[in-house]
Amino acid sequence: MKKTYPKAEEYNFDGLVGPTHNYAGLAIGNTASMKNKDEVSHPRAAALEGLEKMKFLMDRGFKQAVLPPHERPDLRFLRTLGLTGSDETLLKSTASLSPALLATCYSASSMWTANSTTISPSADTQDGKVHLTPANLHSYLHRSLETEQTQIILKKIFSDSRYFVHHSPLPSLPAFADEGAANHNRLCHEYGKPGVEAFVYGRSGFFSAKETVVFHPRQTREASRLIALHHQLKTEKIILVQQNPKAIDAGVFHNDVICTADKNLIFYHEFSFVNTEGTLKEIEQKLLPDPLFKIPVKAKDISLQEAVSSYLFNSQLLPQGKESWILLAPKECEDQPSIREYLQSLPNNLIREVCFIPIRQSMQNGGGPACLRLRVVLTEEEAGAIHPGVILNSELYEKLKHWIEKHYRDRLEPKDLLDPLLIRESREALDELSRILQLQNIYPFQQ
Ligand code: SUG
């Protein structure tokens, strides 16, 4: 008899861009972040762009939710370093110690929620629950400051222990460096049906894998393997594969900058993995008896440099009817003639429609459409158990738009990080936001 599975849908939890969005060049290996160091940023425009992206998907009938930004500047962190004095003194002493440290505690990087967590849907796990592991984001200090707050927020939203299992982040050590779902792809025939989870790593914490020469890879094999174990995934349904070092050296700091998948469609560059052909064969074989649809891209059609500058592979693939998809690509793909032409030449049997979305403020820090969202596959019953205040609807959209317009600055430049008023403004904004989302007492300043 044919086995039936509960109906499940994918929710995209997008990170709201925080009021201190700025360009500090903190992410070595992320060429956009490096290039735009010290440029003037536009927090209000950034947050509105992100919100419009969410609305676009909501209007198209997709399940959309929001994750709130973290408290920045993270003064608590500065105090753990032994720095003392009033908030104003703290900013000044940090700036004279190291401007990069000041920028670190101001980073709004929690907006890229694809890095926040790895999630396995209940269809894949042996206890039939949804498993969540917040990423330790060990590779960069500004990102590692996100982990604790991420876990607090996720525990509030997915609080029902009948459906959700929260794991501790892996120890924040070089051997276990973890960057969350940006290096994790799930392939399945239907969201509610068991799938294959592909974990992509850049290096090993113990032995020397094929190595990069320019940039240091972030995700380790050991981190990926432990997460698969904690999530109780069946060994025969996981894939552990090394990202191509050539791609990392060209600025592909996460696998989602070179490969994307949804259901049983995978859209990938030929230099995605160390052995791309072999990896695809393995996925295909593990997905059987369901078919795998592949859209491979050759380097002669799109070079690694073009993939990185356009963020084509950081597009979101969204299902539209049976065996067809929408590609939500960054506007930069439309503006780059070679990418635009490539997309026009794509046969439209799998990707039926390409939509371009302007998220320039995030892109300038190396965050495309897929970076801004955390995918969560939920059955109807599980969806009914999550905190409803974060699900986007027209009313919440209007409230958030008004909230951004009321609280966010139009522009920030490096010297503004010394302005103590920005601390107050950010706290006031987050305090109001936590009421809008009905997520009380999530921030350190609210304790
Ligand atoms: O970790 N940028 C982020 C971008 C993350 C993109 N996420 C995915 N590919 N899923 C990073 O490199 C820049 C911050 C600065 O320089 O101000 C930054 O952290």
pLDDT tens sequence across 60-101? 999 999 999 999 999 999 999 999 999 999 999 999 999 999
Find how far residue 357's CA is from the centre of its chain.
Answer: 17
Q: What is the pLDDT of residue 347?
A: 84
C-alpha to C-alpha distances, 379 to 9, 10, 394, 407, nearest whole angstrom: 6, 9, 23, 36
Closest ligand 1 atom to 107 CA = 17
Q: Does the CB atom of residue 112 touch ligand 1 within 6 A?
A: yes
Ligand 1 midpoint to CA 6 (Å): 36
317 lines ligand 1 (CB under 6 A): no
Please say whether the dihedral angle defined by the alpha carbons of residues 148, 152, 155 and 158, taken in this order, is positive or negative.
negative
Centre of ligand 1 to C-alpha 33, Å, is 7
Q: Atom 8, ligand 1: which residue's CA is nearest?
A: 371
* Angle in degrees, CA 231, 193, 285, rounded to 5: 85
The residue whose CB lies within 8 Å of the most ligand 1 atoms, and thus the one to mutate among 17, 28, 109, is: 109
Q: CA–CA separation, 397 vs 392, rounded Å?
A: 6
Q: What is the pTM of this model?
A: 0.98
- SS3 at position 23: coil
Per-residue pLDDT of 370-380, as tens digits, reads: 999 999 999 99
Crossing angle of the two packed helices 87-97 and 420-436, in degrees rounded to 10: 120
Q: Return the ligand 1 atom nearest residue 137 CA.
A: 1
Verify whether ligand 1 is closer than 6 Å to residue 102 (CB atom): no
Statement: residue 1 has pLDDT above 90: no
Quick check: CB of 119 below 6 Å from ligand 1? no
Amino acid at 63: K
List the residue whose alpha carbon is closest to atom 14 of ligand 1. 26
- The answer for residues whose C-beta is within 8 angstroms of residue 191's C-beta and 6 or more apart is 8, 9, 10, 121, 123, 263, 377
Quick: pLDDT tens for 29-52: 999 999 999 999 999 999 999 999
Per DSSP bridges, beta strands 373-379 and 8-15 are: antiparallel
Q: Is 313 in the pocket of ligand 1 (CB under 6 A)?
A: no
pLDDT digits (tens, 9 = 90+) for 382-424: 999 999 999 999 999 999 999 999 999 999 999 999 999 999 9
Mean of the per-residue pLDDT values for the chain?
Answer: 97
* Across 204-218, 261-275, 281-295, least confident range: 204-218
Nearest by Cα to 338 from 306, 385, 369: 306
For residue 91, CA distances in Å to 41, 71, 110, 209, 435 come to 20, 15, 21, 42, 28
pLDDT score of 3: 82
Which long-range contacts (C-beta less than 8 Å, at least 24 apart) are formed by 355-359?
A: 355/56, 355/326, 355/327, 355/328, 355/329, 356/329, 356/330, 356/331, 357/52, 357/53, 357/56, 357/328, 357/329, 357/330, 357/331, 358/49, 358/52, 358/330, 358/331, 359/49, 359/50, 359/53, 359/330, 359/331
Order of all β-strands in the sheet with 63-67: 63-67, 8-15, 373-379
What ligand 1 atom has the least distance to the C-alpha of 30? 12
Ligand 1, residue 181: give the atom nearest the CA. 10
Rounded to the nearest angstrom, the distance between the alpha carbon of 29 and the centre of ligand 1 is 10
53 C-beta closer than 6 A to ligand 1 = no
Task: State whether the beta carbon of 70 lies less than 6 angstroms from ligand 1.
Answer: no
Report d(CA 141, CA 110) in Å as an integer.
12
pLDDT beyond 80 at 210: no
Distance 107 CA to ligand 1 centre (A): 10
Give me the active site residues, please: 179, 254, 371
Q: 426: closest CA among 77, 112, 91, 108? A: 108
Q: SS in 3 state form for 143-193? A: HHCCHHHHHHHHHHHCCCCCCEEECCCCCCCHHHCCCHHHHEEEECCCCCC
pLDDT at 2 over 80: no
For residue 106 and ligand 1, the question of a CB distance below 6 A is answered with no
